[in-house]
Structure 1
Amino acid sequence: MRNILKVIFGRVLFTVLCLLIQLVWLIGLVWKLNQYYVWFSAVFDIIALIVVLRINAKSDFSAARLVWTIVILALPVFGICLYLMFGRTGLTKRTRAIYEKVQKRFACELSQDENVLGALKENNIYIHNQEYYIQSSSGYPVYQNTDVSYYPQAEAALEALLEDLGNAREFIFMEYFAVEDTQAFHRIEEVLLRKISEGVEVRFIYDDFGSIGYVKPEFMRRLNRQGIQCRIFNPLVPFLYIFMNHRDHRKITVIDNRISYSGGFNLADEYFNITHPYGHWKDTGIRLEGDAVRSHTIMFLEMWNFIRDTDTAWDKYLTSCAPFQSRQGGYVQPYSDTPLDNVTLGENVYMNILKNATDYVYISTPYLIIDNEMQKEMCMAAERGIDVRIITPGIPDKKLVFLLTQSYYTALIRSGVRIYQYTPGFIHAKGYVSDDQTAVVGTINMDYRSLYLHFECGVYLYGCDAVMDIKKDFCDTFPLCTEIGIDYCQKRSVFVRCFQCILRLFAPLL
């Protein structure tokens, strides 16, 4: 706890202090130049109008545009400063150019096997169209010859991961939003150090903001000293424009381009129920073995070189140690969603599942903060007879966000959507399963940050054995939940409902 407090007071409070200094400077400036108040007020009103026009000229999601318009026009000075610090979702031209350069370089390594698409088209035209859309929007192909294992609890995924790490021969790539320098990671670190001594190359990426309460600044230096090549995504630096909207929320491990892991779990003790800050923590993971791992390898290499462009040759990372023959059928498509291409791929994949469902759609998400389009698709699916069920946490990790999540219940329940709260604790799994055929397991929450602002990843499955494993996990989880009825929503106090309305107004900023 002392280490966590040191990190928080040493870095977060330093950032807050810088922002307070900036605010004091602005207040002092206004006080000093009070005699020119009318002129300054007019100037800021004009600037506010220009900023609002610029915001509404962009193709960003409409809910955020509305919020920023209200805040800036109501409080021009405060609103403009707030927008400069937290509202700008675009990277600088230089940073965007670096990302596009790296992405273009690896695009040639992502070729789609037309025979796979052709077979899929003959099998199911609707699924073909979905997977074709993912491929054309993100560049990541659909594969066969891939075995899929699904883990309904992160503890089982960790044990399998440790075993596979121990069998690595050539390289290990790991990319996580949050890493905690405690028990779970120490077990992984022990294996990584052993593999380094055997000549295996190890690379590690973590997000600075996601890990800020878990590791000290010297954590990266320690890993590098030990031979684990480590890079931090988007270090938190206190400037006027803090580039903190875009985070690397992905969770990926790649071993020898032969095996990969993804899912909802980070490398912190609470994800594996070593600690219990919010009751029982439910999270899920997915393991791929075979051809589809190539996409996860390329995702990692893109991010590694986006942070610092150093790789001039990568052929050795895109070949497997041994040939692989799948024992399962089905189609597997890992994909990455970025905030830089103006395509809301993660949200669109989810909405297409709802549109094409014929029987049921089961959803799990830790946060339910959705725009009108997503809410409409859920309601329409339920109204046409689809069994739509959503599992959300019973014990929240963020109380304000939980209140905001609950504010969406009434409209969904009235349309026939069934809402379940996970009674034992916090559910962090992000998953969809539909019609015993399709499923998505990944990192994409159903909130504005995951759907619009973060770097995310998912795995789309069709016709795989794991789809039924995912359905079984949902069916096993529903009895552990409390189903929320319309009475629960209507019995909330007037104060709570009014507060939820205010939160809904600022939902795109949370």
Structure 2
Amino acid sequence: MKHQITSGDGFAINSRKPRSKYAKRRKKPKKLINIIFSQKTTIILLLLLQFVQIFIMFTILNENYNYLSVLFTTLGIIVAIYIVNTDRQPAYKIAWIVPLLIFPVFTTILYLILTNQPYKRKVSNAYVQKNLDTRCYLPEDIELSKKIKEEDPELYRIIRYLDDSAGFPAYGCEDVTYFPLGEDKFAAMLTELRKAEKFIFMEYFIVDDGEMWGEIVDILIEKAFAGVEVRLIVDGMGSQFTMPMKDKKAIEKAGGKVLIFNKFRPMMSTIQNNRDHRKILVVDGNVGFTGGVNIADEYINRLIRFGHWKDTAIMIRGQAVWNLTMMILQMWEVISHETTDYEKYRPTPPDENTTSQGIIVPYSDTPLDSEKIGRMVYMTMINTAKNYLYITTPYFIPDNEILTSLELAAKSGVDVRIITPHIPDKWYIQCLTRSYYMELLNMGVRVYEYVPGFIHAKNCLSDDKRAVVGTINFDYRSLYLHFEDAAFMQDTACIPDIKADFEDLFKNKCHRITHEDVRQLSFASRFMSVILRIFAPML
């Protein structure tokens, strides 16, 4: 499935010159010696060493002490029975049971270590309790809910679920703008950041040194010196080794605050899997951004890594921004153990003449409770689509229930289309994604690949009516392991823009996958996909 891109494909790189000493920095390739002796490499090597030590120790015990071998094999059978009877996804169970059969001693001990961790329980309890404690600050609009219930019972069930299970209420949408490219979002971000008068809250998975971050950090420092409250949360794996420490210190020196969520540490712990994958910016409580765009040059095509980088985002104005503000404050308090006067950060009350079009619910999902909000919203989008359902995702590794729902929708006459990247950022993920193509085609689902490069957008659109734009991929990591966020929208003004973007992709920038394309995949690719699908929940 190789496709050529001509020089006239229309994807121009944003060549605007950086505006300051911070923005002039361009990320340079790291020398091999710097990579070898970096902190990140050291941590990874220490983790591997722990893994190898456990494996060697219990292999020796298994080989030299028959009674221990029998003991651990018996324990392995008990663990396997326990796993089968948990409420986890079937694919997750298989990912553990297969190695239990091959390496019963090692896998048994590894499972017991990874599933009995007081620190993770402590963090989980703190985050869940914080969400419960702050529910009173996110009250339901009773009049709006009553109106929706009377006029659209199906929509009412969706907003009822998001309010009751996620803790985020619905709002009449005052204003929402859709950005079909990361460059568009970045330009709007800079405009809004420069307008900030009270506070700037940011929460991002990746903050990487380069032109994009250089322009943003310059504004953050300037605003912090001017008395604007600046708070930044970055993920401990996505940003810990990419955001320059001198910038963190410069922000703090100016009066801002920077927190690192779940620092990447050299210890075997399942909490290392729970990353903060959210991308949120809130300015003065009245303007909020979310979507797939991280803060790194490839997201705005100032650095070319995997062909043209296609990403999307939205900008929300009005009362609905409060949901995004509370997401950041909840996370901030869990990390810092600080207390907050939430009332200081509420959006400006709407003018009497303010009108709204449609409904919007910005929502968040946490892996630390039993409710999989992102997955359930996607399932609802699939199950309620009547005419068409369009999906973009960089990683398509669905669980069985999502596949079944897609099959039912397609076989019921719904035009189901999925767009994935043609140029991957991770070869093994593309191998896994493509392993579902034949299955999808046989269901009647139309599959497309974004030919110019890598599509990182996480969009879902149905029936010219409903849409989800956010950070949530169709894979196990986003649906089960990461902190995520998105916005569910119905009948908002940006729906036609999302539809137009999809239509442009289908017509001009995507190749529709056929059965013949799938049959032409190499034997090595198909063989690897068979192995990788066993361990898909862990990838």
Q: Which TM-score applies when normalising by structure 2?
A: 0.89
In structure 1, the partner of 2:152 is: 124
Residues in 2 aligned to 1:225 and 1:58: alpha-carbon distance in whole angstroms = 49
User: 1:499 — aligned with what?
Assistant: 528
Determine the structure 2 residue equivalent to 1:161.
Answer: 189
**Number of the residue aligned with 2:5:** none
Q: Which residue type is aligned with residue 282 of structure 1?
A: K
2:332 aligned to which of 304, 321, 332 = 304
Q: Is 2:171 aligned against 1:143? A: yes
Residue in structure 1 matched with residue 8 of structure 2 by the alignment? none
Match of 1:489 in 2: 518
Q: Secondary structure at the match of 1:465?
A: coil
1:236 to 238, 251, 264: 264
Q: Tell me, in whole angstroms, the C-alpha distance in 1 between the residues paired with 2:204 and 2:195.
A: 21
Check 1:351–1:225 CA distance in 2 against 1; reply closer, same or farther (3 A cut): same
User: Could you say if the C-alpha distance between residues 107 and 19 of structure 1 is closer, same or farther in structure 2, counting changes exceeding 3 Å?
Assistant: same
Q: SS of the counterpart of 1:342?
A: coil
Are the equivalent residues in 2 in contact too, given 1:328–1:465 (CA < 8 A)?
Answer: no
Distance in 2, matches of 1:39 and 1:393, equals 52
Residue 259 of structure 1 pairs with residue 287 of structure 2: yes
2:121 equivalent among 90, 93, 112? 93
**Quick one: distance in 2 between partners of 1:391 and 1:17?**
36
CA offset at residue 4 of structure 1?
Answer: 9.3
Distance apart, 1:376 and its partner CA: 0.9
Gaps of at least 5 residues in structure 1 are none
1:355 is matched with 383
Q: Using the alignment, how far apart are the partners of 1:90 and 1:272 within structure 2?
A: 41
Give the 3-state SS of the residue equivalent to 1:464 in structure 2.
coil
Note closer, same or farther for the CA distance 1:91–1:375 as it changes in structure 2 (3 Å cut): farther
Identity %: 39
- 2:501 corresponds to which of 458, 469, 473: 473
- The 2-side partners of 1:391 and 1:33 are apart by 49
Per the alignment, in what secondary structure is the counterpart of residue 512 of structure 2?
A: strand
1:148-184 deviation line (CA, Å, top 9, x unaligned): 1000011011111111111111111000000012110
The Cα shift of 1:325 comes to: 5.5
Please give the residue correspondences for 1:285-434 in structure 2 after superposition, counting only pairs within 5 Å: 285-320=313-348, 323=351, 326-434=354-462
SS at match of 2:341: coil
Query: Partner amino acid for 2:332?
Result: W
Q: Say what the alpha-carbon RMSD is for the aligned residues.
A: 2.3
Q: Which moved more, 1:396-405 or 1:119-128?
A: 119-128
SS of residue in 2 equivalent to 1:445? coil
Measure, in 2, the Cα distance between the counterparts of 1:80 and 1:488.
41
The code of the aligned residue for 2:128 comes to E
For structure 2, the residue ranges without an aligned partner over 5 or more in a row are: 1-28
CA distance in 2, matches of 1:35, 1:49: 19
**Which residue of structure 1 lines up, in the alignment, with residue 276 of structure 2?**
248
Give distance in 1, aligned partners of 2:188 and 2:158: 31
Give the corresponding residue for 2:478.
450
Residue 35 to residue 484, structure 1, CA distance change in 2 (3 Å): closer
Residue 108 of structure 1: SS of its match in structure 2? helix
Q: Quote the Cα distance in structure 2 between the aligned partners of 1:428 and 1:88.
A: 35
- Report the AA paired with residue 381 of structure 1: A
More moved, 50-59 vs 125-134: 50-59
Of the structure 1 ranges 428-437 and 322-331, higher mean CA displacement relative to structure 2 is found in 322-331
Q: Give the AA of the match of 1:458.
A: A
Cα distance, 1:198 vs structure 2: 1.9
Asked whether the 8 Å contact 2:468–2:487 carries over to 1, the reply is yes
1:203 aligns with 2:231: yes
CA distance in 2, matches of 1:271, 1:4: 25
Query: Which residue number corresponds to residue 40 of structure 2?
Result: 12
Instruction: Report the TM-score, using the length of structure 1 for normalisation.
Output: 0.94
3-state DSSP class of the match of 1:395? coil
Give a deviation string over 1:381-425, Cα, whole Å, max 9, x none. Answer: 111111111110010000010010000011111111111100000
Contact 2:306/2:453 (8 A) holds in 1: yes
Instruction: Return the match for 2:161 from 126, 129, 133.
Output: 133
Is 1:66 matched up with 2:94? Answer: yes
**Whole-Å separation in 2 of the counterparts to 1:91 and 1:62:** 27
- Give the deviation of 1:213 after TM superposition: 5.1
Q: How many residues align?
A: 510
The alpha carbon displacement at 1:321 in A equals 7.9
Per mean C-alpha deviation after superposition, the further-off stretch among 365-374 and 114-123 is 114-123
Alpha-carbon spacing, 1:357–1:88, altered in 2? closer, same or farther (3 Å) = farther
* Partner secondary structure for residue 273 of structure 2: coil
| Other-structure match for 1:193 | 221
Amino acid at match of 1:386: V
Q: Which amino acid aligns with 1:311?
A: T
SS at match of 2:80: helix
The 10-residue stretch of structure 1 (3-12 or 497-506) with the greater mean CA deviation from structure 2: 3-12
Distance in 2 (alpha carbons) for counterparts of 1:3 and 1:215 = 18
- Distance in 1 (CA, whole Å) between partners of 2:470 and 2:32 is 28
CA distance in 2, matches of 1:292, 1:100: 22
Indicate if the aligned counterparts of 1:220 and 1:231 stay in contact, CA closer than 8 A.
no
Contact (CA 8 Å) 1:175, 1:252: kept in 2 or not?
yes
Q: Which moved more, 1:21-30 or 1:336-345?
A: 21-30
Structure 1 contact 3–216 (Cα < 8 Å) conserved: no
Find the residue that maps to 1:421 and give its secondary structure.
strand
Contact 1:440 1:460 in 2 (8 A): yes
Cα distance in 2 for partners of 1:412, 1:363 equals 13
- Separation (CA, whole Å) in 2 of partners of 1:29 and 1:279: 45
Tell me the distance in 2 between the aligned counterparts of 1:355 and 1:230: 41
